[in-house]
Structure 1
Amino acid sequence: MNAVLNETIQKILTKEINQGRKAILQPLIDLIQEKVNADKPIHINFICTHNSRRSHLCQVWAQVASAFYQTQKVYCYSGGTEETALFPKVAETLAAAGIDIQVIAATSNPIYAIKYNENTMPIIGFSKKYDDSFNPQSEFTAVMTCSQANGGCPFIPGAEKRIPITYEDPKIADNTNQQDEVYQARSLEIASEMFYVFSMIKSS
């Protein structure tokens, strides 16, 4: 991980998680620990309405956190109840945090290669429905990152477990002079919670 990302991680590690959020995160911790104890792969699909902001931030930071804490066999995905596009400010926010972002297909729904370490396979980021063939079709955990998706999708086909961990949508700041600040704050909030989750996992 490069110097900028290492600096971001040090900031992440200083952020306190309150008891209410810890309780919300505990089912995901328990699920991951159960998989680690059984030496099984951990497939997590982070789901939001448009797969444009929060679900991508969760996917990327969970993958970074699993690598940081050396939790093996973790595979993170994201999806939406509909396909739109990864919002450009999300890519900019991740790049500012020290994550390498490359556009590999500049279409109306761009495809990004997202790398947090020069020697790892990139995360492929683009908007897609949660049941897209790019995502796992069975034996995965569905983490609902927004209340609309959580309420609108009572059943996720193929999911072993469904866990709501919702965040406020940073798009509330779009087209305002607070946009950068709000996106950075949401990214840091999500990152700190994903790092907390993986910090609690004990190796088998």
Structure 2
Amino acid sequence: MSSQNSPINDRSEQAGKQKLKILFLCTGNTCRSQMAEGMTRHLKSDIIEPYSAGVDPGVMNTRAVKSMAEIGIDISSGFPKTIESLGHIAFDYVITLCDQANESCPLFPGKTKRLHWGFEDPPKLAENAATENEAMVHYRRVRDEIKSLVEKLPDVLND
């Protein structure tokens, strides 16, 4: 792909341009999508305006909040949102983070591009953990996997 067709090849090209609007979507908007929004806001707020929502919003996951706080990112003020509540925003990208969201993702009008980054569900993985530390291992792993992809934004959008 030529540099003229890619969203942003380098931060210097972003000067004077609007930020990319990215929606991270998962089932409940309680864990993975909140982590992705918080991570993107922390690492890429100069070039990306992140949002998150759920296809069936639940209650904010305290372990997700804790895992992000461990690396200095506060998502405690986050709250689960519906896709409809963000319907007024023209997203450049919608990134689904779980299979259910990928299957249930509605169509977005305009030029919105859709990607799927499938991550395992930390609450489900932690269900049988004997201790809090064992449970947190799953949250930390998924958090770090999300971070790895967010660090590659926006270049990874071209893949």
The offset of 1:165, in angstroms, is 1.3
Task: Supply the distance in 2 between the matched residues of 1:159 and 1:82 (Cα, whole angstroms).
Answer: 25
Matched, 1:57 2:57: no
Q: Runs of 4 or more off by more than 2 Å in structure 1?
A: 30-38, 99-102, 156-159
Cα-Cα RMSD: 2.7
Residues 165, 151 of structure 1: alpha-carbon distance in 2 compared, 3 angstrom cutoff: same
Task: Supply the distance in 1 between the matched residues of 2:27 and 2:54 (Cα, whole angstroms).
Answer: 5
Task: Supply the distance in 1 between the matched residues of 2:17 and 2:49 (Cα, whole angstroms).
Answer: 14
What is the identity, as a one-letter code, of the residue corresponding to 2:85?
A: D
| Alignment-derived partner of residue 126 in structure 1 | 79
Matched, 1:82 2:56: yes
| Alignment-derived partner of residue 120 in structure 2 | 168
The offset of 1:31, in angstroms, is 3.4
Task: Supply the distance in 2 between the matched residues of 1:32 and 1:56 (Cα, whole angstroms).
Answer: 24
Name stretches of at least 5 consecutive residues in structure 2 with no aligned partner. 1-5
Task: Supply the distance in 1 between the matched residues of 2:15 and 2:70 (Cα, whole angstroms).
Answer: 36
Aligned pairs for 1:25-40 (under 5 A) are: 30-33=6-9, 36=14, 39-40=17-18
Task: Supply the distance in 1 between the matched residues of 2:110 and 2:55 (Cα, whole angstroms).
Answer: 15
Task: Supply the distance in 1 between the matched residues of 2:31 and 2:75 (Cα, whole angstroms).
Answer: 15
Task: Supply the distance in 1 between the matched residues of 2:8 and 2:34 (Cα, whole angstroms).
Answer: 19
The offset of 1:154, in angstroms, is 4.8
The offset of 1:137, in angstroms, is 2.4
Deviations 1:134-185 (A, max 9, x none): x652243111111111112252356611111111111121351321111111
Identical columns (%)? 26
- Report the TM-score when normalising by structure 1: 0.62
Q: Identify the match of residue 148 of structure 1 among 97, 100, 106.
A: 100
3-state DSSP of counterpart to 2:41: helix
The offset of 1:91, in angstroms, is 0.6
3-state DSSP of counterpart to 1:43: strand
Structure with more strand by fraction: 1
3-state DSSP of counterpart to 1:148: helix
Task: Supply the distance in 1 between the matched residues of 2:109 and 2:61 (Cα, whole angstroms).
Answer: 26
Task: Supply the distance in 2 between the matched residues of 1:150 and 1:129 (Cα, whole angstroms).
Answer: 15
- Report the TM-score when normalising by structure 2: 0.77
The number of residues matched between the two structures is: 145
Task: Supply the distance in 1 between the matched residues of 2:88 and 2:23 (Cα, whole angstroms).
Answer: 8
Name stretches of at least 5 consecutive residues in structure 1 with no aligned partner. 1-29, 103-111, 113-124
| Alignment-derived partner of residue 187 in structure 1 | 143
